[in-house]
Chain A
Amino acid sequence: MREVVLNIYRHWDLIRSFARRDIKARYKQTALGIAWSVLQPLSMMVVFTLVFSIFARVPSDGIPYPVFAYSALVFWTFFSNTIGGGTSAMVSNAVLIRKIYFPRETLLIAVMMAGLLDLSVASLLFLGMLAYYKIGLTLTALWVVPLLLLQIALTFGVISLTAAIHVNYRDMGHGLPLVLQLWMFATPVAYPMSVIPAWLRPYYLLNPMAAIIDGYRSAIIVGTTPDLPALGVSVIVTLVVLSLGLTVFKRAAQTFADVI
């Protein structure tokens, strides 16, 4: 772990270069450019509002449903996009990996950095919605910082694992979109945590993203401290995933060039 942090520090310029490349290359020759990073969660919000709120009448704890959904979607989009990009980061840089040495995890961190840019652009709309619905931020909104750090740690752990697997088994690329979709429905994105029956709750919270997404909502919209016991479980699961991911990645990275 210390080694990873040290490597990030040492190769910060390289990470920045990769992130810059990813962002620039992503929006070159697009007409809408960076606006795409808002469009994705925005369109999901519209669909969710129609389907879950208007058609299915899913409760939203008294919060206007559009902002209720968007508060989760903006962070979930960051999660699912970085996992998609991170998983294929090795394979899409195969030429580089086959030919040049550099710490491979820099590619993963760059994907997360590029994702953070999209997140901040998409957050602008979020702030606009908060103003529109006259939801004032309180000091509890500061919880966003540790929550985001926890989410990033989890993302890093997951993509370390999936990227390493993807190099050896391309099945990962096929299965992942499916898993992410299921994962989203196992997370309180479209519905509030309050609808989960009590008996299911302990198992439900094993999904580390559940407490994180619920936490954002509490901290930003409701103005209360996140559910700390739930978050504690999330931290433990995240640490397990992270250390497993980094261990596997470090081992697998030695032979990426031979296998990729």
Chain B
Amino acid sequence: MSDTAIQLTGVSKRYRLRHGWYVSSIKDEVERLTARLLGRPAPPREEFWALRDITFSLEPGEVLGLIGMNGAGKSTLLKILSKVTVPTTGTFETHGRLGSLIEIGAGFHPDLTGRENIFLNGSIMGMTRHEVQRKFDQIVAFAEVERFIDTPIKFYSSGMQMRLGFAVAAHTDPDVLLVDEILAVGDASFQAKCLNKLAELKSRNKTIILVSHHLANITDHSTKVLWLDRGTVRMVGETDAVVDAYLEHVSRDMKVDDSQHEARDVSGDRPISIADVTLLDGEENPQGRFDRGEKAHIDITYTATHAVPGVVFGVSFHDIHGWEIGGVITDPDSVKVTAAVDRAVLRLTLDPLFFVKGIYMLNVYVVDPATRRYYDLRRRALRLVLDGHRAVSNETTGYVYYPHQWEQLK
């Protein structure tokens, strides 16, 4: 076996922007041609580079996590690696059979039965008929579709189709496996199966390239991470270092929102508004970085123009993609606004902070509990950085390290 599994050298990919069905419109081509004939510089074709000068290599047994914002070129890179498309410049080599869990089940034909589709999909993925025959029972058992194996798959549920697709792909016995967001497929028990399959491939010294928006997936499984930024390699190296840098970058890009009072668009009358929000540590010093288990205060400064009957304040926690992962609100009637308020401060204490290592964004809002109308909402009012250890678990997602005790009872 060669000592590199994948080697990319200066790989770039250019796409021409197309007009309708045509690679370039006839009009453009005529203009280019006449310009050339007249010796003038031809107007450039509209084009963009999805990838520029990508160089990296992987050894057998390595698991590369591929991260980056939407449009960074992750999909294009996977397409090049899986040979679906060729790079415009540069070279790459892979050693051994390449498997892909990118588009599982893409080769299925709805009118064919599960059995027929296993053979079809198996051979599309590069297995011989004999090989599929040998692994047939394993595939069917893995997909849990025994009872429906001779039913056309157009009658399968989408979950069953996914499972069947994954099962075939997972049994191609690849030396290099490309995985894109598959861990979001299926129920918990099927996910566990998928993870075990990945772990098995890893232990057999196979090379895996993993793409996921869930950074927890990346940190759990990767031995190395590559961060793509607008088509170029921004950083490549040790998992934690790259993921931390990426998180830092992404959350800084999402600037803490000082100005945007969304309620203004919703209602003209704003009896209560949030003037200021600050994050303090246990000693009441402004702080944005915490260790897990520390205490944090959030001081919300607000004003009111007149008395308001019902007021509820809330703080919600979000991951860097904006997914809400939890929140707290004040009890009804605990905050009373019986007259105009010039400047009042409400304190929320979080003790202990039990988020796992990562970056979190906090929204702060105040609503009318009767109508649910926002009086004021400040999106991404605060940025909370948690240090310390990541949770050690097989779960693919998760944000909370729950305070707990273990006891050996017997």
Q: Which A residues are within 8 Å of any B CB, using their own CB?
A: 13-14, 16-18, 20-21, 24-25, 28-29, 95-102, 168-170, 254-255, 257-259
Query: Of residues 303 to 319 in B, which have CB atoms within 8 Å of A's CB atoms?
Result: none
- Contact call A255/B85, Cβ cutoff below 8 A: yes
- Contact call B124/A254, Cβ cutoff below 8 A: no
Question: How many B residues touch A, CB cutoff 8 Å?
Answer: 31
- Contact call A21/B120, Cβ cutoff below 8 A: yes
Interface centre among B102, B107, B127 (most CB of A within 10 A): B107
List 8 additional A-B contacts (Cβ < 8 Å) besides A25-B109, A99-B102, A100-B125.
A17-B120, A24-B116, A100-B100, A101-B83, A168-B21, A254-B85, A258-B85, A259-B18
For A97, what are the chain B residues with a Cβ–Cβ distance below 8 Å? 84
Q: Which of B106, B122, B128 contacts A99 (CB 8 A)?
A: B106
For B122, what are the chain A residues with a Cβ–Cβ distance below 8 Å? 17
B119 within 8 A of A: yes
Docked complex Cα distance between A21 and B123 (Å): 12
For B112, what are the chain A residues with a Cβ–Cβ distance below 8 Å? 21, 24-25
Docked complex Cα distance between A34 and B82 (Å): 37
The digit string for B21-65, where 1 denotes a CB below 8 A from any CB of A, is: 111000000000000000000000000000000000000000000
- Nearest-Cβ distance from residue B178 to partner chain A, whole angstroms: 11
Which residue of chain B has its CB nearest to the CB of A27? B111
For B107, what are the chain A residues with a Cβ–Cβ distance below 8 Å? 96, 100
Q: Which B residues are within 8 Å of any A CB, using their own CB?
A: 15, 18, 21-23, 79, 82-86, 100, 102-103, 106-107, 109, 111-112, 116, 119-120, 122-129, 152
Docked complex Cα distance between A170 and B125 (Å): 28
**Contacts A99-B84, A100-B103 known; A14 to B116 CB distance under 8 Å?**
no
**Contacts A28-B111, A257-B79 known; A95 to B84 CB distance under 8 Å?**
no
Docked complex Cα distance between A89 and B117 (Å): 19
- Contact call B111/A169, Cβ cutoff below 8 A: no
**Contacts A102-B124, A168-B22 known; A21 to B84 CB distance under 8 Å?**
no
For B129, what are the chain A residues with a Cβ–Cβ distance below 8 Å? 13, 16-17
Interface centre among A28, A100, A255, A259 (most CB of B within 10 A): A100
7 interchain residue pairs of minimum CB distance: A99-B103, A101-B83, A17-B123, A14-B123, A99-B106, A13-B129, A28-B111
- Contact call A257/B84, Cβ cutoff below 8 A: yes
Which residue of chain B has its CB nearest to the CB of A170? B21
- Contact call B128/A101, Cβ cutoff below 8 A: no
Which residue of chain B has its CB nearest to the CB of A14? B123
For B126, what are the chain A residues with a Cβ–Cβ distance below 8 Å? 14, 102
Task: Show 19 A/B contacts (Cβ-Cβ < 8 Å), sorted by A.
Answer: A17-B122, A17-B124, A20-B116, A20-B120, A21-B116, A25-B109, A25-B111, A29-B111, A96-B106, A96-B107, A96-B124, A97-B84, A100-B82, A100-B84, A100-B106, A102-B126, A168-B23, A255-B85, A257-B85
For A13, what are the chain B residues with a Cβ–Cβ distance below 8 Å? 123, 127-129
- Contact call A17/B84, Cβ cutoff below 8 A: no
- Nearest-Cβ distance from residue B161 to partner chain A, whole angstroms: 14
- Nearest-Cβ distance from residue A167 to partner chain B, whole angstroms: 10
- Nearest-Cβ distance from residue A98 to partner chain B, whole angstroms: 7
Docked complex Cα distance between A21 and B124 (Å): 12
Docked complex Cα distance between A168 and B119 (Å): 31
- Contact call B124/A14, Cβ cutoff below 8 A: yes
Docked complex Cα distance between A257 and B13 (Å): 13
For A25, what are the chain B residues with a Cβ–Cβ distance below 8 Å? 109, 111-112
Docked complex Cα distance between A97 and B106 (Å): 9
Docked complex Cα distance between A20 and B116 (Å): 9
For B152, what are the chain A residues with a Cβ–Cβ distance below 8 Å? 28
Which residue of chain A has its CB nearest to the CB of B82? A101
Docked complex Cα distance between A168 and B152 (Å): 33
For A255, what are the chain B residues with a Cβ–Cβ distance below 8 Å? 85-86
For B120, what are the chain A residues with a Cβ–Cβ distance below 8 Å? 17-18, 20-21
Docked complex Cα distance between A102 and B23 (Å): 23
Which residue of chain A has its CB nearest to the CB of B79? A257
For A170, what are the chain B residues with a Cβ–Cβ distance below 8 Å? 21
For A168, what are the chain B residues with a Cβ–Cβ distance below 8 Å? 21-23
- Contact call B23/A98, Cβ cutoff below 8 A: no
- Contact call A17/B119, Cβ cutoff below 8 A: yes
Which residue of chain A has its CB nearest to the CB of B103? A99
For A96, what are the chain B residues with a Cβ–Cβ distance below 8 Å? 106-107, 124
- Nearest-Cβ distance from residue B143 to partner chain A, whole angstroms: 18
Docked complex Cα distance between A119 and B329 (Å): 75
For A258, what are the chain B residues with a Cβ–Cβ distance below 8 Å? 15, 85
For A98, what are the chain B residues with a Cβ–Cβ distance below 8 Å? 84
Docked complex Cα distance between A18 and B125 (Å): 12
Docked complex Cα distance between A168 and B23 (Å): 7
For B84, what are the chain A residues with a Cβ–Cβ distance below 8 Å? 97-101, 257
- Nearest-Cβ distance from residue A19 to partner chain B, whole angstroms: 11
- Contact call B128/A21, Cβ cutoff below 8 A: no
Which residue of chain B has its CB nearest to the CB of A29? B111
- Nearest-Cβ distance from residue B109 to partner chain A, whole angstroms: 5
Docked complex Cα distance between A18 and B86 (Å): 24
- Contact call A100/B124, Cβ cutoff below 8 A: yes
Q: Which of B23, B102, B106 contacts A95 (CB 8 A)?
A: B106
- Contact call A24/B111, Cβ cutoff below 8 A: yes
